[in-house]
Structure 1
Amino acid sequence: MTTLATLTRPQKAAAILVAMGKPSASRLLKFFKQDELKALIEGARLLRTIPQADLERIVAEFEAEFTEGAGLLDSADKMDTILNESLSPEEMNALMGGAPLAIKDNLPPVWPQVERLEATQIGAFLANEHPQTAAMILSNLAPTYAARVVLSLEKPVRSEIIKRMMELASVPEAATKLVEDQIRSRVLTESAQKDTSVGQTRVASVLNELDKSQLEEVMSDLREVGMADLDAIRARLFSFEDVPAMSQKARVALFDGLSSELITLALRGTALPLAEAVLSSIGARTRRMIESELGQGSEGVQPADILRARKTVASTALRMANEGLLELPSTQNAA
């Protein structure tokens, strides 16, 4: 049985490759130089059974040197090796100094396009990537958007990615270009083919301008002609009358940023349940002010101004929902 103290560095490397298994090890071996392969082979021939505890120490030693860059890999090789799991052999070969990879010219920047997608979609993509790759991607996104992506991740994955973001050094340009190319082909292209949310949002923005009776009439007509995705469109619809269906948390988030004058105007002429749903979501002092104002009647207030105030509340709710700041009742019910 081989002991940890007697192992050479090539033997330790051979032990790690054996522990990785044939598929992963075979992908790595192609990137070793000839003299390195010779050292590995010679080390492996002399290798005997290694206790599990010693193997774990070898792996821990490798991880420590990998993170600190203590002679195992330089900064470029570190990123290249990590990306091996998610990139094709041809791309890795180009990155490691083989045939040059053709980079598309005159392409628009990839990161603003990513930020137009749902944060949960990017979170699902990053959850299947190596944490170092995910850290590099998040570091290129706007902080507000990146924060929403991070919150969509499971806690263990989230913590590991944030840790690597803090430790992330300069990423080689070739590695950055390869990651951007992967995002274009695996995320943006697929989204363009499958995601119809842009059209749904466009239709919903038009329908949200209708009053309740007009909206129901149009939705009924669309159902009769067999329009697809009506449920998805309805999930993007919201009017002031839908406020009572919102959760208390969502209502507080919505009305916390609205002026008391706007809320007062929107509440004029409303039924008691709707008024109470709104008033119960604001502070006691503001509520007393609004109730006092409403008690003086609506004489001289134009109906068009009331309608405009209610549409402002609704459009604010839709904007906040799109930004991930609250959930609309249709979204909650669909979950």
Structure 2
Amino acid sequence: MRLRDDYRTLSGAEKAALMLLSVGEDNAAKLFALMDDEEIREISQTMANLGTVSSSLVERLFIEFADQISSTGSLVGTYESTERLLMKVMDKSRVDAIMEEIRGPAGRTMWDKLGNVNEQVLANYLKNEYPQTVAVVLSKIKSEHAARVLSLLPEAFAMEVIMRMLRMEAVQKDILDDVERTLRSEFMTNLARTSRRDAHEMMADIFNNLDRSTESRFITALEERNRDGAERIKALMFTFEDLGKLDPGAIQTLLRVIDKGKLPLALKGASDDLRDLFFSNLSERAGKMLREDIAAMGPVRLRDVDEAQMAMVALAKDLAARGEIVIADKRGEDELVY
């Protein structure tokens, strides 16, 4: 067992672990009860690896803790101060994920979070619940979202839910708390677990961001070593030509927000069918101007075309993630969730 005696080498997680070990089991249990599973796992693992810590270091920890508490005056917790604190003890990607969970787009309350769950996913879960439970849930989320979920439920079941919503009075707090607790433990936890992308999805996303020649080189090399893996990645990749599967509304949304300087360059290297799709969703005057811009460009570097097309793909995926457009998968059966 190593002897820790240099306070400067302690990480934030180690300070927290040491503090919990020092306050006794009863107090530590109370503090653990206020943490989420990820925090408990991290601190528990850190505890197990602390080794022997000198008494002087423990004393230094408590002196610092007391000094910080006594010198702060009144304590004010904000998103910004929380983010600054987290940045001192973990890397930026983890902080970003935690802050996104806290402040959005996932939402600040359980009901906000539920409002951001794909309606098909939510309907599939709710159709196995009691109609009264579903009535409570639909009464707590936004009307537009509730309508989409209701339309996806089996018709007879949906009518049972509607009848209960019509008769529903103010929901008692203990019932609401019970529904929220069930959703949190059974639904949101499972959703978070199943929404993690597998390795093939992750690699497809990475390959989408490679230039065309590099992507082709890697795919060819992968086909030689792992043909099944290469085929799965290719099936999951969303490419520039896949924009041709977007419906007119999605194309028009994309056209409204795309960098107008990138559009002619991206379409310069597009197939005739994809060009025509974009032209058909522009006014006659705008389409004519875009054709003239493309024709006036002359020869362009393939790398520049690739970058412009990748920017359009990234924008489309961002719009899909925000629910502003729907991207169908390559079989046209389901929505892809990014």
Q: Please give the range of the TM-score, normalised by the shorter of the 2 chains.
A: 0.5 to 0.7
**Amino acid aligned to 1:312:** A
Q: Quick check: 2:132–2:164 contact (8 Å CA) kept in 1?
A: yes
Q: Quick check: 2:254–2:316 contact (8 Å CA) kept in 1?
A: no
Cross-structure match for 2:125: 125
Alignment CA distance shift 1:181-1:309 (3 Å): same
5 Å-filtered alignment, 1:107-256, equals 109-114=109-114, 117-141=117-141, 146=146, 148-155=148-155, 157-158=157-158, 161=161, 164-165=164-165, 168-197=168-197, 202-221=202-221, 234=234, 236-244=236-244, 246=245, 248-249=247-248, 252-256=251-255
**TM-score normalized with structure 2 length:** 0.53
Cross-structure match for 1:320: 319
Cross-structure match for 1:278: 278
Taking only the aligned residue pairs, the percentage that are identical comes to 23
CA shift for structure 1 position 319: 2.8
Q: Provide the rounded CA distance (Å) in 2 between the counterparts of 1:250 and 1:231.
A: 31
5 Å-filtered alignment, 1:46-125, equals 109-114=109-114, 117-125=117-125
CA shift for structure 1 position 126: 1.1
**Amino acid aligned to 1:181:** R
Q: Quick check: 2:135–2:162 contact (8 Å CA) kept in 1?
A: yes
Per-residue deviation, residues 201-223 of structure 1 (Å, max 9, x unmatched): 54443222113343344345556
Cross-structure match for 1:3: none
Q: Provide the rounded CA distance (Å) in 1 between the counterparts of 2:331 and 2:324.
A: 11
Cross-structure match for 2:78: none
**Amino acid aligned to 2:149:** V
Q: Provide the rounded CA distance (Å) in 2 between the counterparts of 1:250 and 1:157.
A: 31
Give secondary structure in 2 for the equivalent of 1:169: coil
Q: Quick check: 1:252–1:282 contact (8 Å CA) kept in 2?
A: no
Alignment CA distance shift 1:210-1:136 (3 Å): same
Per-residue deviation, residues 3-46 of structure 1 (Å, max 9, x unmatched): xxxxxxxxxxxxxxxxxxxxxxxxxxxxxxxxxxxxxxxxxxxx
Per-residue deviation, residues 273-303 of structure 1 (Å, max 9, x unmatched): 332233233332321121122232347x776
Cross-structure match for 2:90: none
Alignment CA distance shift 1:276-1:157 (3 Å): same
Q: Provide the rounded CA distance (Å) in 2 between the counterparts of 1:146 and 1:289.
A: 42
Q: Provide the rounded CA distance (Å) in 2 between the counterparts of 1:324 and 1:230.
A: 30
Per-residue deviation, residues 105-154 of structure 1 (Å, max 9, x unmatched): 66695445545644312111112223331122233345665455345334
Give unmatched runs, 5+ long, in structure 2: 1-32, 37-101, 103-108
Alignment CA distance shift 1:274-1:111 (3 Å): same
Q: Which gives a bigger RCO, structure 1 or 2 (Cα 8 Å, sep 6+)? A: 1
**Amino acid aligned to 2:320:** A
Cross-structure match for 1:52: none
Q: Provide the rounded CA distance (Å) in 2 between the counterparts of 1:231 and 1:250.
A: 31
Give secondary structure in 1 for the equivalent of 2:330: helix
Q: Which has the larger radius of gyration?
A: 1
Give secondary structure in 2 for the equivalent of 1:207: helix
Alignment CA distance shift 1:149-1:271 (3 Å): same
**Amino acid aligned to 1:268:** K
Give secondary structure in 2 for the equivalent of 1:185: helix
Alignment CA distance shift 1:222-1:295 (3 Å): closer
Alignment CA distance shift 1:271-1:199 (3 Å): closer
Q: Quick check: 1:251–1:278 contact (8 Å CA) kept in 2?
A: no
Q: Provide the rounded CA distance (Å) in 1 between the counterparts of 2:185 and 2:230.
A: 29
Give secondary structure in 2 for the equivalent of 1:286: helix
Q: Quick check: 2:212–2:306 contact (8 Å CA) kept in 1?
A: no
Q: Quick check: 1:250–1:327 contact (8 Å CA) kept in 2?
A: no
Alignment CA distance shift 1:263-1:233 (3 Å): same
Q: Provide the rounded CA distance (Å) in 1 between the counterparts of 2:246 and 2:115.
A: 27
CA shift for structure 1 position 313: 1.6
Give secondary structure in 2 for the equivalent of 1:133: helix
Q: Quick check: 1:268–1:298 contact (8 Å CA) kept in 2?
A: no
Give unmatched runs, 5+ long, in structure 1: 1-103
Moved over 6 A (4+): 227-232
Q: How many matched pairs?
A: 230
Q: Quick check: 2:211–2:307 contact (8 Å CA) kept in 1?
A: no
Q: Quick check: 1:120–1:149 contact (8 Å CA) kept in 2?
A: yes
Per-residue deviation, residues 27-70 of structure 1 (Å, max 9, x unmatched): xxxxxxxxxxxxxxxxxxxxxxxxxxxxxxxxxxxxxxxxxxxx
Deviates more, 1:125-134 or 1:274-283: 274-283
**TM-score normalized with structure 1 length:** 0.53
Alignment CA distance shift 1:161-1:306 (3 Å): farther
Alignment CA distance shift 1:282-1:256 (3 Å): same
Alignment CA distance shift 1:326-1:176 (3 Å): same
Cross-structure match for 2:62: none
